[in-house]
A and B are shown apart, each in its own frame.
Chain A
Amino acid sequence: RKEVEQDPGPFNVPEGATVAFNCTYSNSASQSFFWYRQDCRKEPKLLMSVYSSGNEDGRFTAQLNRASQYISLLIRDSKLSDSATYLCVAAGGATNKLIFGTGTLLAVQP
Chain B
Amino acid sequence: EAQVTQNPRYLITVTGKKLTVTCSQNMNHEYMSWYRQDPGLGLRQIYYSMNVEVTDKGDVPEGYKVSRKEKRNFPLILESPSPNQTSLYFCASRYGLAGWDEQFFGPGTRLTVL
Interface residues, chain A, CB within 8 Å of chain B? Answer: 2, 31-32, 41-46, 49, 87, 91-92, 94-98, 100-103
Contacts and interface: CB of A to CB of B under 8 A. Distances in A.
Interface of B: 31, 40-45, 48, 50, 58, 88, 90, 97-103, 105-108, 110
A31 B41 CA distance: 22
B89 to A, nearest CB: 11
A98 B100 CA distance: 11
Given A31-B99, A32-B99, A46-B102, A95 B31 contact: yes
Contacts of A43: 90, 105-108
A98 B103 contact: yes
B98 A96 contact: yes
Contacts of A97: 45, 48, 58
If over half of B's interface residues share one DSSP class (helix, strand or loop), that class is named, otherwise mixed; here it is: loop
Contact of B103 (A41, A46, A102): A46
A102 B41 contact: yes
27 contacts: A31-B99, A32-B99, A32-B100, A41-B88, A41-B108, A41-B110, A42-B107, A43-B90, A43-B106, A43-B108, A44-B43, A46-B103, A87-B42, A91-B99, A94-B97, A95-B48, A95-B50, A95-B97, A96-B97, A96-B98, A96-B101, A97-B45, A97-B58, A100-B42, A100-B43, A102-B40, A103-B42
A100 B106 CA distance: 16
A46 B93 CA distance: 13
A102 B42 contact: yes
B36 to A, nearest CB: 11
Contacts of B102: 46
Nearest to B56: A95
Nearest to B58: A97
Given A42-B108, A43-B90, A95-B48, A49 B42 contact: no
